[in-house]
Amino acid sequence: MPLYQYFNGEISPIDKALFQTNDLGLLRGYGLFDYFRTYNGVPFRWDDYWQRFENSAKRLKLPLSITQQETAKVLADLHALSEEPEVAFRFVLTGGYAADSVHVVKPNFLIRTEALPQDNPAGRLKGIKVLPYEYVRDLPEVKSTNYVHMVLMADQMKQQQAADLLFYKDGEVSELTRSNLFLIRDNVLITPDTNILHGVTRKVILELAQPFFEIQVRKVTYDELMNAEEVFTTSTTKWVMPIVQIGNHTVGNGQAGKKSLFLQDRFMDLVKTWGK
């Protein structure tokens, strides 16, 4: 699989060293990214991902030097070079090179072609364990590159056989390290609306659930989470992933919830025919 990357107008093999060492992404954590994949060879919900990427860039005041249409052509080129039926793309936009290590002059824009992630099919059927973690992401609506706590806690998660961290603060729950949170109680589907990144998969699930559930998009308390019948998380790589254990607390009967699996099926139906 010959993967390639795009960097400020040039395409090169994926392992080529590209970044000079005075990049503000590297020196100051001043960067943002986005991540999406193809189904049937077609980027999934590309307009939504691009819009979010543009929004992150705007909030970090980083001008884009390429249009959505030009970028789509780059994606097609990278995809063709990969010789793979399906790929994932990672956008990274940093503050660029700065002589004074403070002021943005010209952002650096990278697109990495990546192999499809391992999908954890067992987790999607049986559900996963997560650890509650007191934290709110800084500038949560920006898909910034700040994931220090996720990397820092990786060992402890492994020790506790947990797949992820679930963020809460001041009695409210928000999101997981890289995915959104949903609760089901009776026939009500609830998802937090503050201190979160607006996930594209979250948006799709809200659309798919519309005919079947009462939907509440609002603040969610930790107590509600503890009393939910079903809990699941959504992301580009996780789809609809049931959560059956939160620290020492077992959700429902400890098995993947039926309504969660129903929504998972709806999502899989959608992506099976995406682009066809």
Amino acid at 152: L
Site for its own copies contains 37 (CB under 8 A): no
Residue 176 has φ and ψ, to the nearest 5°, of: -100, 180
Question: Rounded to whole angstroms, how far apart are CA atoms 135 and 115?
Answer: 31
Q: Which two tokens stand for residue 94?
A: 């940093």
Could you tell me whether strands 180-185 and 188-191 are parallel, antiparallel, or unpaired per DSSP bridges? antiparallel
Residues belonging to the chain: 276
Q: Which of 2, 8, 16, 226 binds its own copies (CB under 8 A)?
A: 16
If the CB atoms of residues 149 and 203 are measured against its own copies, the closer one turns out to be 149
Binding mask 154-183 for its own copies (x = CB under 8 A): xx----------------------------
Q: Residue 221's Cα: distance from chain center in Å?
A: 22
Choose the stretch contacting its own copies; rule: CB under 8 A; options: 141-149, 166-174, 184-192, 243-251: 141-149
Q: Which of 63, 73, 80, 103 binds its own copies (CB under 8 A)?
A: 103
Q: How far is the CB of 87 from its own copies (least distance, A)?
A: 15
Q: Which of 102, 116, 125, 226 binds its own copies (CB under 8 A)?
A: 102
Question: Rounded to whole angstroms, how far apart are CA atoms 26 and 224?
Answer: 39
Question: Rounded to whole angstroms, how far apart are CA atoms 134 and 118?
Answer: 28
Instruction: Quickly count: other Cβ atoms within 10 Å of residue 22's Cβ.
Output: 13
Residue bearing tokens 């998969």: 201
Q: Which of 2, 9, 18, 47 binds its own copies (CB under 8 A)?
A: 18
Q: How far is the CB of 159 from its own copies (least distance, A)?
A: 13
Total number of residues that touch its own copies (CB under 8 A) = 46
Choose the stretch contacting its own copies; rule: CB under 8 A; options: 11-19, 71-79, 119-127, 186-194: 11-19
Question: Rounded to whole angstroms, how far apart are CA atoms 33 and 258?
Answer: 34
Residue 59 has φ and ψ, to the nearest 5°, of: -65, -30
Binding mask 50-79 for its own copies (x = CB under 8 A): ----------xx------------------
Amino acid at 228: A
Q: Which of 94, 180, 245, 260 binds its own copies (CB under 8 A)?
A: 94
User: What residue ranges bind its own copies (CB under 8 A)?
Assistant: 5, 7, 14-31, 33, 60-61, 90, 92, 94-95, 101-104, 110, 112, 138-139, 144-152, 154-155
